[in-house]
Amino acid sequence: MSGDYGIDELMVAALAREMPNDTRAFNGAASFMPVCAFMLARETHAPDLVWVASSIAVDPSPPRIPESTLSDALWDGASMLHSSAFDFWWYAQNGRLNSFCFRGAQIDAHGNVNNTVIGPYATPKVRLPGGGGMADLSCQVPRVYLWSTTHTPRVFVETLDFRSGMGWGDGPGHRERLGLEGGPRLVVTNLCVMDFPPETRRMRLRSVHPGVTVDDVRAATGFEVQVDGDVPTTPEPTREEVEIIRRIDPTDMRKRELAGG
């Protein structure tokens, strides 16, 4: 399709296409795009995908996405409600749940994330929410997907002010030394899609969105992005994908992330 879609729909589709059929995912707070992506993937190429809404409700099919991705309005039609968000930590640690998405105020080339402070920890310029579950799940869950609706040099930085979430750490071998499985697979931003080749575990440009150039991405990134040869254009979402996204999120909650970052 040409033109009749928004960047939000392109990002959701790009994220969803990366989720294989054996994805068993759960979502945290303020995670509209991941929730859209899980539901989209489930309705297209990944019918067996498991989604645990708010880490509470197993396989729901809500009529719409509420303003909180922790809200019980997201749990309609679930086959089970967990009694505690605590239960799911076990499933996260043993691989029964294998996928999680997060973002942060700062992201470095290795996919490590800061959501704790801007500036020194003891005397922060900005005190952010904190690592929350990201600090844990980035170690425990083998398939991590990062997303960001604000691809700028302030977000994609060479050096984090604080490492709240573990990506590929200091580079190849770091996670293995700590006994951590997997790691970040993909970064979907409002400009491009990036991955982490095993040799460097630094972000490599995999595709640029329609209308975006490689130089645009370089200028918007505070570290040197790896570019191997010709970079393809991110496929546009199909008409079917766009229709499904608009059906599962009729009140456009996913677009909120574009305004707020």
Closer to other proteins by CB, 23 or 116: give it. 116
Q: How far apart are CA 201 and CA 143, in angstroms?
A: 14
The answer to whether 193 and 216 are in contact (CB under 8 A) is: no
Give the count of alpha carbons within 13 A of 110, CB side only: 20
Report which of 33, 41, 83, 40 is spatially closest to residue 188, judged by C-alpha positions: 33
Q: Considering the complex, state which of residue 80 and residue 227 has its C-beta at the smaller distance from other proteins.
A: 80
Q: Which is nearer to other proteins, 5 or 91 (CB)?
A: 91
Residue 217's Cα: distance from chain center in Å?
A: 18
Shortest gap between Cβ of 219 and other proteins (angstroms)? 29
Q: Which chain residues interact with other proteins by CB under 8 A? A: 29-30, 56, 62, 66-68, 70-73, 75-76, 81-86, 89, 93, 116, 121-140, 162-166, 169, 174-175, 177-180, 256, 260
168 CB-near residues (< 8 Å, 6+ apart): 110, 111, 112, 174, 175, 183, 184, 196, 201, 202
- How far is Cα 157 from Cα 137, in angstroms, rounded to an integer? 22
Query: How, if at all, do strands 99-102 and 143-148 pair?
Result: parallel
Of the pair 62, 237, the CB lying nearest other proteins is at 62
Q: Which is nearer to other proteins, 47 or 198 (by Cβ)?
A: 198
- The most distant pair of C-alpha atoms in the chain lies apart, rounded to whole Å, by 51
Minimum distance, C-beta of residue 208 to other proteins, in the bound complex (Å) = 29
